[in-house]
Structure 1
Amino acid sequence: MLNRVIQQFKLNVLAINEVEDSHSSTVYKCNLTNGENVFLKIPYTKLKCQRELEAYEILKDRVSIPKMLDYWPGNEECPGAFLLSELKGQPLTNKDLPLVAFQVGVLHASMHQIQPPTTLQLTGIQNEFPDWSNFVERQFYSFAADVKEVLDERLYRQAIEKFENMKLQLPPSDGPSFIHMDFRPANIIVDEDRVSGMIDFESVRFGSTEIDFIKLYRDFLSFDISLYRSYQEGYETIRPLIDLEVVLPFYQFTDAFNSIGWCKRRGIEKNASFLKENLLILKKVLR
């Protein structure tokens, strides 16, 4: 499939390396004979491919993302492929400075400012906002059968009861906004002290912003209060930030639950450390 995609885009490749930490696509970094670096992205499904394609149309010139240099709609064997420009830099880490956290806040809020388009017909990106609580519930229970095979029965029942109780206490939803659904450090590229942009749009929706803070908080903001404050300041230059203390416990819990189900589907041995991490979060909430 990779060779077919390279031929399709007529690339003169010097070296190819598969990008790690990509969970819903196969991604390759290609060093071309002219010295340029580009990325090949092959989503796992037609739906993810369509979401990504529509996201590039919606986000273009509004937030910093890679340029889509070419697109192939695929065939019976391949759901489709993207040829993307390189964003200079490396993924965000919790060692980055508050100055960077401020820019991450600006980037995130700029994306959340985007509302469902009235002139563009979307077939991949759904607007889940009008029925947001049901969307969250569907996501949770879609993983429940997988989670049940991992947790003991008492803990599983406890998790279901916790979900049903916590969801009743949520404030009104904030949106409709363009939400990334996987806004984590690996998908935010930083070049020294400047945020280059964000990547990976195969899970995007229109919905409530409240779901979009979990992974960033878990893997970046929670490590240092100065990062959190700078992020908040940057975000609020664009739009008000919701009260995260009210919504984060619920979404951290549901994310941990869903991630346990994801690990079961994708292979417990292969994702053992991620499974352990989410079991700890779940047990801490249920304690």
Structure 2
Amino acid sequence: MDQLAYVIKKMNLHVLAVEGVPESFSSAVYRLKLSSQETVFLKIPYTTEKLVREAEALEVLRETIRVPDVLDYWEGDEEITGALLLSCIQGQPVPKKVDNKLAYDIGVNHATLHTVTPDVTKEYRGLSNVYEEWGTFLNKQFYNFAKDVEGAIPADLYDQTLELYEAWRKLLPPPDGPCFIHRDFRSANILTSNNQVSGIIDFETARFGSTEIDFTKINRDIFLHNPGTREAYQEGYRSVRPLIDLDMILPFYRFTDAFTSLGWCRQRGLEKHQAFFDENLAILKGLLLAFR
């Protein structure tokens, strides 16, 4: 019995149809139509840590922002890490072409997400608070991926990257937080309907930390391809809470995102992700050349 059939049986689901979900890289995600005619999503994270974190994040956020409801939770067994059954939010991922109206609403929703702070009276199982050790957290993330990048790019390029990282991170502004941070806030995880945000999904890498890391992927996916959207986004964001100086942090995080994406590609297999590897290598080379 394959993994999906096994989980469906364990969760006692009566399924009429199954459809795979693209753009899901750290979990197996399926769109299910149940015998009740309800459409739901079944998410099977690759690790128990991601399962617990996702469920906890959805519980923390459900009173603040539109996120999926947890309809069922299976803790797993010796065969499978576990699974979540999630409600369906109507909408589609952010399109490639984004206008200022949608960018403004994305800013409002992102800022609202960042208004969520850790409850000091609560002990979290999955949502760690890394704010007080923010520099240590950044270093750990960077150098963990660096192990996979080493040997995949020319040695001089690798050494230059590490040197620039060490010099650049010392120039960052003080952390902004502690706030709830998504850490994968990209177009595919922002659902829209009628040119407005209808919901946010995929919280398996979330933490409490500094907001500065959370603008990286919308810069890559939206701002750089749609002139004027950054300004509209910032206006929407500032209508909810103050915004850190993006001019100071976006270049650094574009640089680290390009480098760590190379490591991610090697971890997941270059045979599947060579195009993404090449794209990020070109970005890294361009940024290193600019800062010589």
Place the TM-score, normalised by the shorter chain, in its bin: over 0.9
1:97 is displaced (CA, Å) by: 2.6
Amino acid corresponding to residue 68 of structure 1 in structure 2: V
Q: Find the counterpart in structure 2 of residue 99 from structure 1.
A: 101
Residues 232-257 of structure 1 show CA distances to partners (whole Å, capped at 9, x for unaligned) of 11111110111111111111111111
Output the CA distance in 2 between the equivalents of 1:231 and 1:214. 13
AA partner of residue 141 (structure 1): Y
Aligned match of 1:214 in 216, 236, 241? 216
Residue 60 of structure 2 is matched in structure 1 by 58
Question: In structure 1, what is the Cα distance between the partners aligned to 2:51 and 2:86?
Answer: 14
Matches within 5 A, 1:20-169: 20-169=22-171
Percentage of matched positions with identical amino acids: 49
Give the Å deviation of 1:43: 0.4
RMSD: 1.1
Q: TM-score, normalised by structure 2?
A: 0.95
1:16 to 11, 18, 21: 18
Structure 1 position 34, deviation (Å): 3.0
Amino acid at match of 1:114: V
Q: Residue 191 of structure 2 corresponds to which residue in structure 1?
A: 189
Task: Tell me how far apart the structure 2 counterparts of residues 118 and 168 of structure 1 sit (CA, whole Å).
Answer: 29
Distance 1:225 1:241 in 2: 20
| Deviations, residues 79-133 of structure 1 (Å, cap 9, x unaligned) | 1100011111110023133221111111110111111112321121111110101
Measure, in 1, the Cα distance between the counterparts of 2:162 and 2:46.
30
State the Cα distance separating 1:224 from its structure 2 match: 2.2
Cα contact 2:45–2:51 (8 A) shared by 1: yes
Partner SS for 1:269: helix
TM-score of the aligned structures, taking structure 1 as reference length: 0.97
Contact 1:94–1:221 (CA under 8 A) maintained in structure 2: no
SS in 1 for 2:84: strand
The residue type paired with residue 49 of structure 1 is L
Contact 2:97 2:226 in 1 (8 A): no
The offset of 1:12, in angstroms, is 2.0
1:248 matches 2:250: yes
User: Does the 8 A contact of 1:132 with 1:208 survive in 2?
Assistant: yes
Query: Matched residue of 2:32: which SS?
Result: strand
Is the 2:98–2:226 Cα contact (8 Å) retained in structure 1?
A: no
1:212 and 1:49 map into 2 onto residues whose CA distance is 21
What CA deviation, in whole Å up to 9, does each residue of 1:46-104 have, x standing for no partner?
11111111101111111110111111111111111000111111100231332211111
Could you give the per-residue CA deviations for residues 160-193 of structure 1, whole angstroms, max 9, x where no partner exists? 1110110111111111110001000000001122
Give the aligned partner of residue 199 of structure 1.
Answer: 201
Contact 1:114 1:177 (C-alpha < 8 Å) held by counterparts: yes
Distance in 1 of aligned mates of 2:126 and 2:110: 21
2:272 is matched with 270
Checking the alignment, whether the CA contact within 8 Å between 1:93 and 1:220 is kept in structure 2 is no
Unaligned regions of 5+ residues in structure 2, if any? none
The number of residues matched between the two structures is 287
CA distance in 2, matches of 1:193, 1:232: 17
Shift of 1:281: 1.1
What is the identity, as a one-letter code, of the residue corresponding to 2:107?
Answer: G
Q: Quick one: distance in 1 between partners of 2:251 and 2:231?
A: 19
Could you tell me how far 1:266 is from its partner in structure 2? 0.7
